[in-house]
């Protein structure tokens, strides 16, 4: 049997996610020999560029532009074509970002550890990098293989018309009726998007509300928005079987009142993503994982194997591109800097769910503050009633709310929840204020551009309630 070819480098990066590619580029710029292994040429650049943030937000944008008179299937097809053209360009840019560097070797294939600092790569088709059975050795290894959609094991989950968050982006034919299983950010975004394109959307939620980690009034505010857009919400409903007839998918639902049936043209499972570690052979490297398959790391993202780090979604926790980017800073500091950065240094990390209008959050909820024993002041105001916030009215969408949780003793902001036009931008200002310890009073009295959504802070923070 022919021995595989060998390659020895200074740094080996497994996976092309935000953190991994940025770390690889930084090490190459420092003169290190770098190999980056990616199992799919369609994923040069990682999840965000190819199947996550950018393509879905492109589709969401086009769904918002659709007029009621526009044919739903045609509008969706045009949006998918634009999505694909954009992603092809970004994929190519990301490939050349590393491949054009003299000290970087791009390897196409599935890597599997044979020891803590050596992997064997099984080549994959369709790539533009090195494509052969290859053993790669490096003193420094970074695992950045990301996460993948959780696969349902419900009978019928493999039928045509059953999608995950990746495949639904090319749904064919366009579903006039779509059922979505899930209650989190991914489920909400696709529900809002596909309703925008013209689908009749039904969300099937196992629990008794959306966004179970949010305050009840916030979850209800988001639910009302979706209902007002024509999205049906079914709580206490679990899909137990899927059967295909000639015309539709027939779902069997377990509900509080017994078994029910629902017919739909397509079904989306949006029940989360899990770390992509199953094919890595981590045992051979002595790399520990948790019960969900996430790689266990310390505060500097070191794994249980010396010289091996993990960053991004593969290490578990919140799955956000900005966190993966910051992971690269932590690892870079650990191996080339003073070693002072820690993941626990992060505070006030904002997030946005891109429904229409967007739902953005930062910090803790009022319920969490109460459980901690904090004395707080809170306010929740409907956007339509905020006089000093003309921008949503000017662009024709004054829906939503703004909620703040403020420490009554220090006047510092503990958390905020925004559902309104421009929320994805305003939340960054609030997050910065929290990190810089700017008080609620200082934000209230700030001078902001007009007309903007930010100037709502002047009015909303002037309505904080009594301490409780």
The C-alpha atoms of residue 361 and residue 319 are separated, in whole angstroms, by: 15
183 is in an annotated binding site: yes
313 is in an annotated binding site: yes
225 is in an annotated binding site: no
Is the separation of the CB atoms in 384 and 396 below 8 Å?
A: no
Q: Which tokens go with 161?
A: 């018309």
Map residue 252 onto helix, strand or coil: strand
- 420 among known catalytic residues: no
188 is in an annotated binding site: yes
187 is in an annotated binding site: yes
The C-alpha atoms of residue 10 and residue 27 are separated, in whole angstroms, by: 9
The C-alpha atoms of residue 200 and residue 69 are separated, in whole angstroms, by: 16
Is the separation of the CB atoms in 394 and 387 below 8 Å?
A: no
266 is in an annotated binding site: no
Whole-Å CA distances, 317 to 224, 265, 386: 29, 34, 36
Count how many residues are written for the chain.
468
185 is in an annotated binding site: yes
User: Counting Cβ atoms within 10 Å, is residue 184 exposed (0-12), middle (13-18) or buried (19+)?
Assistant: middle
Residues in CB range of 215: below 8 A, 6 or more apart: 365, 366, 367, 403, 417
The C-alpha atoms of residue 182 and residue 203 are separated, in whole angstroms, by: 7
Looking at 261, 292, 450, 468, which residue is catalytic?
450
Cis before 436? omega within 30: no
| First-residue to last-residue Cα distance in the chain | 73
- Which sign does the torsion angle of CA 116, 120, 122, 127 carry? positive
186 is in an annotated binding site: yes
- DSSP state at residue 127: -
272 is in an annotated binding site: yes
Query: Which among 159, 150, 228 has a CA at the least distance from the CA of 399?
Result: 228
Whole-Å CA distances, 122 to 46, 66, 119: 19, 44, 10
Strand partners, 405: 378, 415
418 is in an annotated binding site: no
Whole-Å CA distances, 217 to 261, 366, 377, 403: 30, 10, 16, 10
Please enumerate, by residue number, every residue annotated as part of a binding site for FAD. Answer: 57, 313
Please enumerate, by residue number, every residue annotated as part of a binding site for NAD(+). Answer: 182-189, 272
Q: Which residues are annotated as catalytic?
A: 450
């Amino acid at each position: 049997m022919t021995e595989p070819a060998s390659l020895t480098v200074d740094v080996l990066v497994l996976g092309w996610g935000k953190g991994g590619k940025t770390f690889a580029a930084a090490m190459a710029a420092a003169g290190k020999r770098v190999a980056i292994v990616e199992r799919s040429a369609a994923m040069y650049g990682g999840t965000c560029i190819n199947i996550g943030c950018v393509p879905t937000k492109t589709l969401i944008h086009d769904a918002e532009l659709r007029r009621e008179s526009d044919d739903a299937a045609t509008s969706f097809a045009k949006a998918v074509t634009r999505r694909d053209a954009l992603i092809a360009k970004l994929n190519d840019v990301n490939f050349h970002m590393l491949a054009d560097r003299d000290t970087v070797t791009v390897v196409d294939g599935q890597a599997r550890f044979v020891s803590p600092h050596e992997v064997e790569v099984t080549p994959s088709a369709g790539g533009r990098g090195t494509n052969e059975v290859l053993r790669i050795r490096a003193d420094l290894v970074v695992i950045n293989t990301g996460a993948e959609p959780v696969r349902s094991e419900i009978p019928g989950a493999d039928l045509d018309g059953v999608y995950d968050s990746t495949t639904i982006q090319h749904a064919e034919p366009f579903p006039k009726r779509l059922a979505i299983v899930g209650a989190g950010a991914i489920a909400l975004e696709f529900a809002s998007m596909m309703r925008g394109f013209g689908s009749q959307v039904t969300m099937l939620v196992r629990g008794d509300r959306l966004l179970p980690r949010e305050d009840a009034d916030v979850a209800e505010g988001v639910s009302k928005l979706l209902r007002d857009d024509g999205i049906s919400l079914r709580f206490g409903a679990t899909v137990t079987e899927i059967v295909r007839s000639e015309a539709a998918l027939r779902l069997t639902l377990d509900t509080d009142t017994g078994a029910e049936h629902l017919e739909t043209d397509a079904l989306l499972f949006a029940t989360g993503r899990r770390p992509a570690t199953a094919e890595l052979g981590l045992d051979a490297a002595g790399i520990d994982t948790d019960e969900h398959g996430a790689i266990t790391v310390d505060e500097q993202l070191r794994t249980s194997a010396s010289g091996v780090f993990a960053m991004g979604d593969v290490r578990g926790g919140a799955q956000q591109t900005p966190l993966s980017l910051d992971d690269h800073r932590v690892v870079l500091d650990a191996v080339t800097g003073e070693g002072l950065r820690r993941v626990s240094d992060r505070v006030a990390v904002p997030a946005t769910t891109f429904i229409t209008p967007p739902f953005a959050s930062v910090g803790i909820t009022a319920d969490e503050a109460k459980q901690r024993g904090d004395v707080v002041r809170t306010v929740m105001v409907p956007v339509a009633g905020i006089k000093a916030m003309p921008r949503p009215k000017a662009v024709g969408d004054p829906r939503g709310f703004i909620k703040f949780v403020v420490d009554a003793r220090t006047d510092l902001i503990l958390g905020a929840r925004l559902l309104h036009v421009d929320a994805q931008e305003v939340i960054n200002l609030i997050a910065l204020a929290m990190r810089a310890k700017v008080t609620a009073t200082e934000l209230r009295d700030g001078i902001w551009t007009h007309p903007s959504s930010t100037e709502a802070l002047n009015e909303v923070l002037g309505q904080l309630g009594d301490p409780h």
